[in-house]
Structure 1
Amino acid sequence: MSQRDDTRPQGAAATARQRKPKPKRALWKRLLLWSGFGIGCLVAAGLVAFIIAYQAVDIPDPNEDFQTQTSFVYFADGKTQLGEFELQNRQSVALSDVPQSLQDAVIAAEDRSFYDNSGVDVVGIARAAWNNLRGESTQGASTITQQYVKIAYLSTDQTYTRKAKEAILALKIQRQLSKEEILQNYLNTIYFGRGAYGVQAAASAYFGVDVQELDVAQSAFLATVLNEPGNLDPAEGRQAKEAALQRYQYVIGGMVEEGTLNLEDAEQIDDQLPRTPVAETEEQFGGPKGYVLQMVQEELRAEGFSDEEIAGGGLRITTTFTEQDMNAVVAAVKQERPPGLDQLHVGVASVEPGTGAVRAVYGGPDYTAEREGAQINWATAGGQPGSSFKPFALLAGLRYGYSLNDSFDGNSPYFLPATGEEVENQGDSGGGSFGFVSLLYATQESINTAFVDLTVSMEDGPQKVLDAAVLAGIPEEQLAEVPAVPVVPLGFAPVSAIDMANAYATFAAGGERAEWFTVERVTDADGETLYEHRVESEQVIDPDIAADVSYALQQVVSAGTGTDASVLTCPAAGKTGTATGAEGEVSSSWFVGFTPELATAVMYVRGDGNDDLNGYLTPTFYGGDRPAATWTTAMEAETAGEECGTFPEPAFVSGTPPTTATTAPPATTAPAPTTTTTTQPPTTTQSPT
């Protein structure tokens, strides 16, 4: 029989003692456990969500505006800047061209851990989310990589969702690009104020230098203003200047702290801001140059360049315009045009004979002016040329077989044989009759009736005059709707100053015609040629006939209606033109002329081109007055410093040279300018350019 183990519990008491519960765990410990579990779940969920978001978010195409570069337009020398086309004022540069001091300053100002961080500022993201949830504005603290992502790929919305997407893209960009590439892209896209995007434009805007020329103080200043350009530009006032100095000292202190600037050098520059002269700002198309830039833009489009390439492709565009010629025509208009009189318009164009290169254009005082019609380029808009169209009738007559010596009816009135319609010699001549005069003298004194008689005497004469104008260089489409009537030499067909200058340039070039153009060459930012103009000229007029036309037009300047131009240093030829309406009102006034090296047309009109000039300035307004004076002033400056050429001797085709330069005028009539009376009211074509 076994013995009872007395050590074992006995009975119910023992059972109760065996089932006694363990002490319960403290409540706070349980709460802590569950909180930890919950946080772990949230972290895990957040991590899963981040992984999903990371995989779902693709790097988008860069914002188009931040991929653009300013295109620069140069005068004919290829060096002097005429203007620019831009969506944003930007010139991208390689990081190797950016001074180390500027790189260091930007890092000290914006992201001192740039070379060590992963491209993301976690604290900044959390702060943005918290502030957004509280309904407060978010704060900065983005890394340089995040800032670049925001600028180049995202909008500027300040929300936690954009901030999160920014972080994801920053991580992805960090894996695709080196730190140097990120910094280079950032420095070429960030806005510095004063309309400048990127460090090259900023260096020019604030200091007038290339980025390579920046010193340490200037570098620190640019790193200062990029934080808040609108509030840190000293040009904005004392408060902005004080804020800029405080930020500037912070940047310099950061450079010292990071070991990129020694304390001694810092103390020499941190007490005041570097001088930042306020650059003169002007509209991209402001002033007279706007009409020129607009013409260049149109020609680039015609040559196949897109608007995106023109305004943002970083092109280098060399034009045909010279600074001397452009300054000359602008100054001439300013000097000779009466002040005020907003409705008085002047168009001027200068073309090089033989090549068609446009050397100068004046289309108006300000392309960006806030007034109706300010964008009309009066150098390319049509106006009635009046008697300056007569040289084309002269050309037609010489080609037909007439000579400068052949005589035509200069009496007034003249009655058209077919209709009996009356044509008069008006203007300063007093409407007098000249009798039968040589074609040479009719040109010299601009005798209406003689030119109408010439036209009537040729078979299909009116069409021959129009054909001669096209042959010289007036675009055929401009004359397509012009009726072939006997008074067509009197210039009621609307043509532009630039086309008239080019047609007269054909006479100056001995009958060699070229199409006018404004763009000489286009290269990309690296200097690779994208386009180069090829001059294609054609001998369209017999050189002897061209010499005779030129000789007749020389007489206009030396002894006829255009003697105001005779003071020009170089030999000159030209023709006055005054177009009138049915009631004798002067609607446009011209002088078109040339030297052996340059042809220039000047046109004065009022209002829409049809309004009366008479009584607006003086009792009469003829081509031999203000237009001739404007032409002479411009041409004197345009040809200054250049060797004057000579005109060829006249050939007197189909005839024998006279014993004197001109046929003697009738004793009862003094040589005087005449105006054009047409059979229809003047009309002016104002084609938008």
Structure 2
Amino acid sequence: MQGVAIFLIAACAYSTGSAATFNEVKTSYQSSDTHILSREGELLHRLRTDATVRRGQWVALADVSPALRTALVLSEDKRFYEHSGVDWRAVSAAAWGNLWNTKTRGASTITMQLAGLLDEDLKRGNGGRSVVQKLGQTWSAQSLERGWRKDQILEAYLNLVPFRGELVGIDALSQTLFGKAAHGLDNREAAVAAALVRAPNAKEPQVVQRACSVLKSLETAAANCAALDLFVTGALQRRDYAASEGVAPHVARQLTAVRGEPVEGLPNLKASTSAARTATIRTTLRAPLQRFAVQTLQSHLRELAGRHVEDAALLVLDNASGEVLAWVGSSGPLSSAADVDAVTALRQPGSTLKPFLYAQAIAERRITAASLLEDSATQIQTTGGLYIPQNYDRHFKGWVSARTALGASLNVPAVRTLVMVSPDAFQKQLVRLGLPLKESGDYYGYSLALGSAEVSLLNLSNAYRALANGGRASPTRLLPGKAAPATQALDPRAAFIVGDIMSDPMARARTFGTDSVLATRFWSAVKTGTSKDMRDNWAMGYSQRYTVGVWVGNASGAPMWDVSGTTGAAPIWAAVMNFLHAKQVSRAPKAPAGVVQKAVQFANAANTPSLEAARTEWFVDGTQQTTFAMDSGAARAISTRSRGLKGLKNEATPTARITAPTTGTIIALDPDIPPQAQRLTLQAEGANLRWLVNGKPLAKGNTALWPLWPGRHVVQIADAKGQVLDHVRIEVRGAGVQSARKMPP
């Protein structure tokens, strides 16, 4: 009766572990790492998500090296393929007392060990297994052999057996100690692995001794164990299995972080909070594109070495679905803050908000693409005092069309347009486009036209995607699934016209030239932007199929040196766009209903030269006209009024004087404009004038163009005899500050 009771207890000890099928055990296996896969199923990144244990991925038996399979069987269970779970020959060869001694494992088969790994009730304690546990282990092993094949038992054992410390399973062991996959282990490495199975936490001499014995069983007695001690020492000290590895670290963190709230711009991540417990996560990323984006971004930043710039980020969106096709959150090893995800970080967008402003003004029929806007010095009364917007180079261009103002990224016309729209209305428009500004329009004031708010690359790129989609906005997606419904956030006619302007190389010619890096061989619309003090540089644009956004700067917020719109983010944007369209065409969008095309011309009064060349222009139906002109008398009145009382005095008694710039003027070089293209227009009244800058002759006449140099300068006009008639003192700041040391005094 006592023997029956013992076996009944053992039967009770047998639990669901041994009753589980091989497929159930394999399915329930949890790696300590999460694998981020591309849409094609390629591994993009591996990230450790369980700090309590180190398990790799489940390795099929066919992917384990033959050397290790042989070493393990020879070391642990020589008759593995002969017995049915219990090696009764080994049992009968030892005395009953020694058989269950905690110091003896000779009769414990691989199947019995696996049963102990599968069943919590059968796991070995600090004092070894009890008699009841050993009986239950025997029972479970025989049950396993009846339901599992031998190859399944060996495969499960290799993936579940503890090796050393936190390492569990052959994948974690081979990657950590040997720096390779399990299929590449040679005889020596297999011998060390088998030795660690027998004594996971043994001291090095014991591991060497055991490994030498296993190696001799693999290679006969002639095996050389001379250098095995050095090899074991090196292997046990190695910890090269990085916690994060691959080309999408920030995506991996976004997808595996359990959050209560979704990431702004990625609402479908809220449903993926359980993804942190999933061994593999398939994303919408394209593997070849992600790798190219990382390489291109890092390569370009290396070219900018010496200009105090170390960070960048890049995002590629599919226009139709909103799927994220590439996500590069930092420059990786080039950055001192590589963990910061610049795709979601908030930065000032600079001029990249201007397309949305002009689109709103066009939609509200306040302006057309051909409307004339004045690019000149102005003052706007605000509750906080006078706001004096100005182009960074102070080279005002007079009356220009809205097309030129946006294409050439002129600041003053943009602020004048915001005066018409109002900051509060513009802020609401940006929110509708998916830019969740934290403050009201009145808080930002008129500087909102020049990008004084803070936005993320993710949200800004998606807002540009809305332009590409005719003003329809919808969330982006990192995980496969059904696209979210879109809402009409902007008038489709205005979105089309603004896109046409951003795709027009002639519109941006006055600033960037006709053959800049922004020009592509296929249809694309693009806008650059740079924030105050060159802390952020952007290139945002789209083609027929894709939207690409690039940010370049420093995670610390430190300013860059001499990095303009065409040298910072734009080359990365162009390279990625060219990669996307290497074999894919991009055609201009069709005009939506309610948009008409009309031939227009620009002229001053009294048959003076035209302001801009005649062209064909797009209009919202009902706003079209054929001629755009400014009356010369009105222009002169504006000029006289801007000079105030001093100007009226000079009308009565004309004397030679400098009219522009005024003394005390501070000029900031425009980082969006190539330095060699920036000039300051000098203007004066009088006859036979000669211009001098810092005492050196510059030009003759009432006007002159001066190439800007950083520093403090004295601008003078003199008569034909060299007598100085007037002077002003100005200061130039900005992009060329590093070159200021080399400039002439």
* TM-score, L = length of structure 2: 0.62
Structure 1 residue 124, shift from structure 2 partner: 10
Partner of 2:463: 503
For structure 1, which segment, 103-112 or 444-453, has the greater mean C-alpha deviation from structure 2 after superposition?
103-112
Go from structure 1 to structure 2 and tell me whether the alpha carbon gap of 1:421 and 1:555 turns closer, same or farther (over 3 Å shift): farther
Structure 2: distance between partners of 1:395 and 1:541: 8
Q: Distance in 1 between matches of 2:198 and 2:270?
A: 40
1:82 aligns with 2:53: no
Partner of 1:570: 522
**Per-residue deviation, 1:578:** 1.7
Matched letter for residue 185 of structure 1: A
Q: Alpha-carbon deviations, 1:373-411, whole Å to 9, x = none? A: 432101211100011111111111111113111223322
Alpha-carbon deviations, 1:270-297, whole Å to 9, x = none? xxx9xxxx99966352465211322343
Paired residue secondary structure (2:313):
strand
Please name the residue that 1:261 is paired with: none
Taking only the aligned residue pairs, the percentage that are identical comes to 19
Q: C-alpha displacement at 1:646, in angstroms?
A: 2.0
Task: Report the equivalent of 1:534.
Answer: 483
- Structure 2 counterpart of 1:631: 573
- Provide the rounded CA distance (Å) in 1 between the counterparts of 2:349 and 2:195: 58
In the alignment, the residues of structure 1 paired with residue 140 and residue 208 of structure 2 have an alpha-carbon distance, to the nearest angstrom, of 36
In the alignment, the residues of structure 2 paired with residue 560 and residue 596 of structure 1 have an alpha-carbon distance, to the nearest angstrom, of 26
- Measured in 2, the distance between the counterparts of 1:294 and 1:366 equals 14
- The structure 2 residue matched to 1:68, chosen from 23, 27, 30, is 30
CA deviation profile, 1:565-618 (whole Å, cap 9, x unmatched): 2353333322121222xxxx3332222122223222222233533x3x1xx523
> Quick one: structure 1 residues 578 and 552, their matched pair in 2 at CA, closer, same or farther if it must change by over 3 Å?
same
Distance in 1 (CA, whole Å) between partners of 2:65 and 2:241 is 29
- Where do residues 227-246 of structure 1 align in structure 2 (5 Å cutoff)? 227-228=195-196
- Asked whether 1:290 is paired with 2:232, we answer no
- The match for 2:430 among 442, 451, 469 is 469
Computed over aligned residues only, the root mean square deviation of the Cα atoms, in angstroms, reads: 5.3
Q: Which has the larger radius of gyration?
A: 1
Q: Deviations over 1:538-568 (max 9, x none)?
A: 5544443222111221246852545542353
C-alpha distance in structure 2 between counterparts of 1:296 and 1:363, whole Å: 14
Q: Give the AA of the match of 1:290.
A: P
Structure 2 counterparts to residues 244-323 of structure 1, below 5 A: 247-251=214-218, 283-286=242-245, 288-297=247-256, 302-307=269-274, 310-311=276-277, 313-315=278-280, 317-323=282-288
Cα displacement (A) at 1:175: 5.3
Higher strand share: 2
1:204 Cα deviation from its structure 2 partner: 9.2
Would you say 1:617 and 2:561 are equivalent positions? yes
1:454-465 → structure 2 map (5 Å cutoff): 454-458=417-421, 461-465=422-426
1:40 equivalent in structure 2: none
Letter in 1 for 2:526: G
Report the count of equivalent residues.
573
The change in CA–CA distance for 1:425 and 1:166 in structure 2 (over 3 A counts) is farther
Could you tell which deviates more after superposition, 156-165 or 490-499?
Answer: 156-165
Change (3 A) 1:152 1:633: same
Per-residue deviation, residues 35-75 of structure 1 (Å, max 9, x unmatched):
xxxxxxxxx99x79966974785748799998314654322
Q: Does structure 1 residue 643 correspond to structure 2 residue 584?
A: yes
Cα distance, 1:654 vs. partner?
8.2
Q: Distance in 2 between matches of 1:230 and 1:596?
A: 62
Structure 1's 327 and 196: CA in aligned 2 closer, same or farther, altered over 3 A? Answer: farther
Q: Does 1:171 align with 2:138?
A: yes
Partner of residue 678, structure 2: none
What does the per-residue CA deviation read over 1:288-344, in whole Å, with 9 as the maximum and x for residues that have no partner? Answer: 52113223435798353455x544x44451433342344134323322453488874
Residue 413 of structure 1 aligns to a residue in which SS? coil
> Counterparts in 2 of 1:138-149, with a 5 A limit?
142-149=108-115
Structure-1 separation of matches of 2:482 and 2:598: 43
Runs of 5+ consecutive residues of structure 1 not aligned to the other structure: 1-43, 133-137, 254-265, 521-531, 677-689
- Can you list the C-alpha shifts for 1:67-86, whole angstroms capped at 9, x where unaligned? 3146543223x242212456
CA distance in 2, matches of 1:476, 1:406: 30
In structure 1, C-alpha distance between the alignment counterparts of 2:402 and 2:331, rounded to whole Å: 39
Secondary structure of 2:344's aligned partner: coil
**Compared CA separation, residues 374 and 104, structure 1 to 2 (3 A):** closer
CA contact (8 A) 1:511 1:542 kept: yes
Separation in 2, partners of 1:415, 1:394 = 19
Q: Give the conservation status (yes or no) of the 8 Å contact 1:347–1:604.
A: yes
Distance 2:413 2:11 in 1: 87
Q: 1:345 aligns with which of 305, 308, 311?
A: 311
Superposed CA offset, 1:93-135 (max 9, x none): 7779989998676433311344245379876996698787xxx
TM-score normalised by L of structure 1 = 0.67
Task: Report the Cα distance in structure 1 between the residues aligned to 2:333 and 2:522, rounded to whole angstroms.
Answer: 33
Aligned partner of 1:390 in structure 2 is 354
Read off the aligned partner of 1:388 and give its amino acid letter. T
Equivalent residue letter for 1:559: A
The question of 1:486 aligning with 2:436 is answered: no
Q: Residue 390 of structure 1: SS of its match in structure 2?
A: helix
Deviates more, 1:555-564 or 1:346-355: 555-564
Alpha carbons of structure 1 residues 623 and 368: separation in structure 2 relative to 1, 3 Å: closer
Q: Deviations over 1:149-185 (max 9, x none)?
A: 4444469877434465752441342354335364453
The one-letter amino acid paired with 1:565 is: V
